Amino acid sequence: MTDLFDPCELNGLKLQNRIALSPLTRTRSNEAGEAGPLQALYYAQRASAGLLITEATPVTPGGRGGPNIPGLWSDDQISGWRQVTDAVHAKGGLIFSQLWHAGRLSHSSLGGGEPPIAPSAMRQPGQIFTLSGPQDYEDARALRTDEIPGIVELFRVAAVRAKAAGFDGVELHAAHSYLIDAFLRDMTNKRTDAYGGSIENRARLLVEVLQAIISVWGPERTAVRLAPVGHAYQAWDSDPEPLFTYVVERLNAAEVGWLDLVEGDTGISRTAEPGFDLQKLRRLFKGVTIANNLYDRDLALAARAADTADMIAFGRPFIGNPDLVERLRENTPLTVADPRTYYGGGARGYTDFPTLAEAGVVS
């Protein structure tokens, strides 16, 4: 027997099941970064998940990792997201907004001509997709110490907008070498001020941003995404276990309610660092843990049977299967979406996948 599909109550939220929609960037907003009816339909179609977490939502135009990503850097973006939350709530779902700053993994064309920012000056190898097509990553400049309170304020104000938009909580994106994660890791953080050097210093920005978000939402509606053993964008930390043990201890001290824990490299591998058992972090964390990365039905059932996570997140399987919860419950075949439709475009490959009932399949 499993409770994966059973209703539960976690941190005061009544969930339909223990399945989460993992954040999935789909780049369907307009150029002003506004969500609208298309996003509302997309998320509502997937509202049978116990918890939906939105695509990474930038807190400033220069924090975008590409064009056509719906943001929360402007009051003008609140009404579009309100369409999304109203549609999800009408279907009985719950939805968190994932707040994000891409850091060096952005481009000046997305930030009004300003260069991307990072904990330390560096240039990311490779290319980023922009409105004018693929372009090389640019030299990112190091944030000045006196600029950091402004970054914290960007997250706080975005959290206020998320509340005005009707979300049920927010998740701080602190993974995958984006700005917060880049401060955490010693490969990308070479600072010598209060935000660099020791683990405590490198975690300072994360802690300050969390405090700002909690001042708006309270700890029980605040989540954090971490990828302790991920190597996104060729970045890593020389000794991740003590770093992320400290981070989780700080989450506990702040009474953060949710930990979205990515196991391995997102979409690539579930392999962990040698000798680093992520279950240590799960056992240490006092809130709700969402296990994330390349889970299928069998792995999810096994995780709940062994109680190695409180919830299980699914990402790409939700793209082609809006009724993924039902398909997993009934163990029916899954639709595999065409990767060419993951990003950009309109309804095709986004909201045009039929449910089992719409396809005339009797379970």
What single string gives the DSSP state of each residue in 108-134?
TTTTTTPPPEESS-EE-SSEEEETTEE
DSSP 3-state of 238: coil
Distances (CA, A) of 188 to 177, 332, 357: 8, 44, 49
Rounded to 5°, the CA angle 273-279-280 comes to 90
| Angle of CA points 205, 208, 214, to nearest 5° | 140
Q: Which residues contact 277 (CB under 8 A, 6 or more apart)?
A: none
Determine if residue 28 is left, alpha or beta; phi over 0 gives left, psi from -120 to 50 gives alpha, anything else beta: alpha
Q: What is the amino acid identity at position 57?
A: T
Q: Which residues in the chain land under pLDDT 70?
A: 1, 267, 270-275, 362-363
* β partners of residue 42: none
* 342 a catalytic residue: no
Which residues lie below 8 Å from residue 342, measured CB to CB, with a gap of 6+? 26, 319, 349
pLDDT at 274: 63
Residues 7 and 15 sit within 8 Å (Cβ to Cβ): yes
| C-beta separation of 34 from 3 below 8 A | no
- pLDDT-above-90 percentage for the chain: 91
Beta bridge partners of 141: 117
Query: What is residue 267's predicted lDDT score, i.e. its pLDDT?
Result: 65
pLDDT at 360: 76
What's the pLDDT at 308?
95
Contact between residue 205 and residue 195 where contact means Cβ atoms under 8 Å apart: yes
Is the CB of residue 64 less than 8 Å from the CB of residue 104?
no
Question: What pLDDT score was predicted for residue 271?
Answer: 66
Distance between CA 292 and CA 45 in Å, rounded? 21
Closest by Cα among 48, 295, 325, 7 to 303? 295
Q: Kindly report the number of other CB atoms within 10 A of residue 232's CB atom.
A: 18
Q: Structure pTM? A: 0.96
**Given the residues 42, 137, 178, 195, the one annotated as active site:** 178
Interval 301-316: pLDDT, tens? 999 999 999 999 999 9
Please give the Cα distance from 246 to 240 (Å, whole number).
10
> CA nearest 157: which of 104, 105, 97, 102?
97
